[in-house]
Chain A
Amino acid sequence: MAKNDLIIRVAGEGGEGIISTGDFIAAACARAGLEVYTFKTFPAEIRGGYAMYQIRTSPDRVYNQGDTFDVFCAFNGEAYEANKHLLTPGTAFVYDYPGGDFEPDAIPEGVHAYPIPMSKTAKEMKSYRSKNMVAMGALSVLFNISEVTLKQVLTKKFGKKGEEILNFNLQAFEKGRELALALNKTDAWRVADPAPPKDVIVISGNDAAGLGALLGGLEFFAAYPITPATEIAKYVATHLPKLGGTLVQAEDEIASIGQVLGASYAGKRSMTSTSGPGLALMTEMLGMASMSETPVMLVNVQRGGPSTGLPTKHEQSDLFLALHGAHGDAARIVLSVEDVKDCIDMTVDALNLAEEYQSPVILLSDGSLAFSTQTVPRPKPGDFKIVRRKMWDGEGTYKRYAITDDGISPMVDPGTPGGMHIATGLEHTETGAPSFKGEVHEQMLDKRFDKIKPLVDRYHPAEVDGEGEADVGIITWGSTIGVAREAVARLRAEGYKVKGFYPKLMWPMQVAQYEAFGATCKKILVPEVNYQGQLSHFIRAETSLNPIPFTIYSGMPFTPIQMIDKVKEIL
């Protein structure tokens, strides 16, 4: 893959404007017609601690955060210490000096160093908060970040706060530009030149899930705060009232999923969002949703676990819990997103599937997508199909759990004369009457599992990346797909025979598609960010394939080069 993209990492103390600096640069690049993929880490603490924001931008689509940075901007000594081992020959290094809180070691051979007195300049302007504006001005000069679009973005942001604040920030930005212009640029890194603007939005995975909920016709949302999923609830709380609905903050996750179940029984399209610990608490109610065939949808943004684990870190370790976390045989549908665009589209899908199949649906996202902002084609509301639940036609005697050809029984809204019935967690007959007879349990378990089976063919097939025979086939899921796409492309460009297989429907599993893919590959590699190799486990259990697990679990996503090296190793 041609290196036509640039990766800029900005790091410093949380609260120094690291995040807003990254957001401004990302928005400016998007305005300049470029694609953007951002990645950030931040401390679990409320204030302070190390914060990092990485922007990858290119004229072409960007699928992941990249191998490492090309340009590193250090706001403080801690950021420098955390990243100095990555200052390899060819990288560019912008840092707060003189007047900052650190003096770097001798600059390594081949590293292009640009000292910018960010703190000192901000101090002279009598506003420490303008430090990031100085840095941004310098970065824009050094690396060809469009001055025009950056100023547009700053104007959009600060214009609302009044001319004085806007002008002050623009002055600081200009100071940064002057400081950089005085330096001699020795590297060749530059953001691609502006292209004609595209019709895009720039949005984080969590906000995108919230937007997807609105586009999917959501009517009721209950949630309990949890990192890293809370932004979904915030988005919905902010915007759903405009459409006539409201968010309810429940007392805990048991209550939030309970409220969702109750609202859905009463006829509303309902969902919640959570992360691993919350999903663990919800499992009993998901069983109730399965048993009572009540549509419920939840987005689970995975984080490092178990227990409280690593709340702000990335992991893909809730697959076991999502697929089979239940007592008894509890049927459910599980989807997993690859990127921010999926967070929109598949939230709509998940709401539709819950209604159509009268089943719990879990949509898996992960920590790296939660806060990753990406350019996404602007969604058009008319493009989203809203599927409604099958409703009783009012004819004859109503049976809530009537045996039907497709296993899906018509529902009826409370308030409808003649439709009275019970939704129950007890095993039951077609009318909902409790029954513990063996044949009833068999019939109803068959019904609950059979009704979702056709989904393996009805849902989008897993994408196959590449054609023909391959020496190594990569099967992966979640945001790791974006890394695999680049790894596969780069390996192929080097002449390796590599393919990719990217499932988004995790359960029921599209077994025949896995088998067909596996038949074209000599070896199957399954990279995933968890200790146990959770997808590998399911592939072994459900298919005849014998995958090689490739697990990492440092709280960080894969990089393309990690995957490339591994493929070469197993060849």
Chain B
Amino acid sequence: MSVAALHKVDLKPRDYKSEVNVVWCPGCGYHGILNSIYRALSELGVDSSNLMSISGIGCSSRTPYFIKSYKMHTLHGRAGPVATGAQLARPDLAVLVTGGDGDGYSIGGGHMPHMARKNVNLTYVLYDNHIYGLTKGQYSPTSRPELKAYTTPYGGPDEPLNPLLYMLTYGATYVAQGFAGKPQLCAELIKGALEHKGFSYVHILSQCPTFNNIDTVEYYRDLVKEVPEGHDVTNLGAAMELARREEKDPTPIGLLYQINKPTLDERLAEIVKKVGGHAGYDINKIIDLARP
């Protein structure tokens, strides 16, 4: 949501750290992403008690435990709907969803399009390490076929999906990609997402040093390419052109797309306005409609 409207506080990034110890492996890119979140929250002056941090299941879905905020650690793949309900119930608060590639695009894949197209006013940071880490290394919807993993000992049988094209296609109003090896950029993109009114999606590429031995920091360094100067972020076609790629092509990092559209909570409020609804409405009028 646009956190600009929220009460501002002056906190250092470390002040957003909760008392829970971070459980990720040494060398995991998620440490950097978490620090980027702290930094973005600090720079925006978000009051912890005005933030709802919500996740599903997976390594990245442990994030809420490490952030001082109101938080929910829900079911595998279901952070989106739960966050949608929480956001609609309290449109005055900020909602941050964090999750992984398996959680978001495999088991939770039925929910992603609808958060995007309905323009639910929340920020979704998806940590993509191209593997399931918590279950010890199975291939995910973003894994490359050459990944030999726990359940794909001979390599994967299917092609990875393109999350950026997916989000652009489904109508997300803020689409960005970062790389865990560039924490400064990640912090900027997350900050922009939190400031954006509407569904803001930040895709962050990350290594998994424990289970994914092909998508290494070095691999990503060679793969990523900053969004060119002068790219028009309001041009959907241009954003799609940047996102569209064959396997050997570079993948863009930076802000690809951002437009302003009414959010779901605004559209729902519009319905109430249209019928002239208010809390003091006499319910007897509704009951009497059922008189014979």
Contact = CB atoms under 8 A, between A and B. Distances in A.
Interface of A: 26-28, 30-31, 153, 200-203, 207, 211, 214-215, 219-220, 222, 239, 241-246, 248, 250-252, 254-256, 258-268, 270, 284-285, 288, 292, 375, 378-379, 381, 413-426, 433-434
Interface of B: 20, 48-50, 52, 54, 57, 64-65, 68-75, 78, 80-90, 92-93, 110-111, 113-114, 264, 268-269, 271-272, 274-279, 281, 283-288, 290-292
Given A241-B275, A246-B271, A420 B68 contact: yes
A222 B75 contact: no
B81 A259 contact: yes
Contact of A201 (B114, B269, B278, B291): B291
A251 B114 contact: yes
A262 B81 CA distance: 8
Contact of A245 (B50, B85, B113, B272): B272
15 contacts: A201-B288, A201-B292, A214-B286, A241-B275, A242-B286, A255-B110, A258-B80, A258-B85, A262-B85, A265-B89, A267-B89, A375-B292, A418-B49, A424-B72, A425-B73
A419 B49 contact: yes
Contacts of A211: 286-287, 290
B65 A422 contact: yes
A481 B44 CA distance: 60
Given A285-B75, A414-B90, A255 B111 contact: yes
Contacts of B286: 211, 214, 239, 242
Nearest to A259: B85
Given A241-B272, A242-B277, A245-B272, A422 B49 contact: no
Contacts of A268: 89
Contact of B78 (A207, A245, A258): A258
Contact of B85 (A207, A220, A423): A220
A28 B70 CA distance: 55
Contacts of B69: 420
Nearest to B284: A381
B271 A254 contact: no
Contact of A417 (B49, B84, B271): B49
Nearest to A219: B89
A66 B269 CA distance: 46
Contacts of A375: 292
Which of B48, B68, B70, B84 has the most chain A CB atoms inside 10 A of its CB? B70
Contacts of B290: 201-203, 207, 211
A415 B73 contact: no
Contacts of B48: 420
A433 B291 contact: no
A312 B202 CA distance: 44
Nearest to A24: B292
Nearest to B73: A424
A244 B275 CA distance: 9
B70 A27 contact: no
Contacts of A207: 290
A378 B287 contact: yes
A262 B73 contact: no
B55 to A, nearest CB: 10
A347 to B, nearest CB: 14
Contacts of B88: 220, 248, 259, 263
A142 B34 CA distance: 79
B281 A267 contact: no
Contacts of A219: 89
